[in-house]
Amino acid sequence: MISTPLWFLLVGGLLLFMALTTSKLKHLPVTSAIVYLAVGLLVGPTVLNLFHFNPLKQSALLEVLTEVAVLISLFSAGVKMPAPVTFKRWRTPVLLATVSMTASVAMVAAFSYYVLGLPLGACILLGAIVAPTDPVLATDVQIRHPGDQDELRFSLTCEAGMNDGSAFPFVMLGMGLLGLHEVGETGMRWILLDVLWATLAGIAVGVVSGILLARLIWKIRGQRQSREMMDDFLGLGLIGVVYGLSVLIGAWGFLAVFFAAVALHQTELKLAGIVKPDPQTTHNSASGVAESDVAESDVAEPPAIVSEGSLVFKEHLERLSEVLLILLVGGMLFIDSWSWRAVGFAVFLFVVVRPVSVLLGMLGSGASWRMRGLIGWFGVRGIGSLYYLMYVIQHGLPQPLALQLIQLTLVVVTLSIVAHGASVKPLMNQFWRRRHRG
């Protein structure tokens, strides 16, 4: 087992390497997550065996680490949602987070039941674990800044912000079928509490909290907005209060934090009199350059926007959590983790489940087939899946089932990092070039 000083040396050296080689690495057709994973595999049981992180024994620690990482990432995603919030703009992400989510869980559950031979409750659990797209590892396909109006990146970011919460009812259903959660004899308790109440209450808590904080900040700062505040503390405080309150009342905290960030940012923009352009009525550039021009020339943003002021700090925390957690993923994998059973399941998830579920969710959206294809491919799985896995283990998942789900989930996350990380830059660049020429 690697010692504490060696952990500091490993993580510190990796951070120094990434910082010093940023200008070189950004030109490579791979993401930083692939670099972290390669280091984790090298020092983990797969190659040098310098350390091994046991997810079954350390599930409580890993649950907390992944929970914090997802919460910070959800807040960052919510803050970057462009204004105004309209039904036309949000229709596709909402359908992806509901219809596509349900279809994904159903297809994974069917595959797991008939091919992998798992019990029905475990099949639904596995579907809920791997169905959500990840807000932590998918930064290369997500909105870059609050002025980013690209429709593709918006859809992927907004979907990831919501489906980490919309997966929770299926987690509860799977646990209920395994006798680990009360769903009621006819399932009515699950529908009323885990689906309707927890979802609607989570959204309500988030929206109300975000609006109240924005108005309180505006009142304290006054019309000139000149009074200094600790924006980072305000953002972290909102995450803590909203998530804690949601858990206490049985609401989905992930949904609450995402919508709190959305409401905070949107309310601040309204109070400041800022109106951002709607991509449905203005020119929507896909090159990234024109988007920056729109954000800087047409939108006069005051310096005192707390939601955006805290964004840089949150993104730094995201990067640190990404380094640590991806290293741990490498430290969990053994050579014999790579069974044909696990690899076949991951391939089925990437090339069948995700594309088909996206096509179902985007029926009637009017989006181009190229955009539907990219959204269907970039369903990155990562830290959110690890959180749900640790959550069910901590809530009494039997060890034999836990070991099977750990192997399947780790292989899915690892292959997602490699496959999506290696393809994101060339595919997205090609997409933007074609749209720019069009």
Q: pLDDT tens digits for 192-214?
A: 999 999 999 999 999 999 999 99
| Size of the chain in residues | 438
Distance CA 186, CA 419 (A): 41
- Contact, 126 vs 109, CB < 8 A? yes
What's at 94, amino acid-wise?
Answer: V
Distance CA 251, CA 265 (A): 22
DSSP letter for 114, please.
I
The more confident residue out of 29 and 331 is: 331
Distance CA 421, CA 425 (A): 8
pLDDT band at residue 93 under the 50/70/90 scheme: very high
Residue 289, pLDDT > 50, answer no
Distance CA 365, CA 362 (A): 5
Residue 277, pLDDT > 50, answer no
Distance CA 341, CA 337 (A): 10
Q: Which residue from 304, 317, 14 is spatially nearest to 136, judged by alpha carbons?
A: 317
The more confident residue out of 309 and 198 is: 198
**CATH at residue 278:** 1.20.1530.20
Q: pLDDT tens digits for 121-172?
A: 999 999 999 999 987 766 677 777 676 777 888 999 999 999 988 999 999 9
CA 43 to chain centre: 27
Phi, psi of 99 (to 5 degrees): -65, -50
Domain hosting 20: range is: 4-437
| Number of domains comprising the chain | 1
Q: Which residue from 411, 191, 113 is spatially nearest to 182, judged by alpha carbons?
A: 191
Q: Report the sign of the C-alpha dihedral through residues 18, 23, 25, 29, in that order.
A: positive
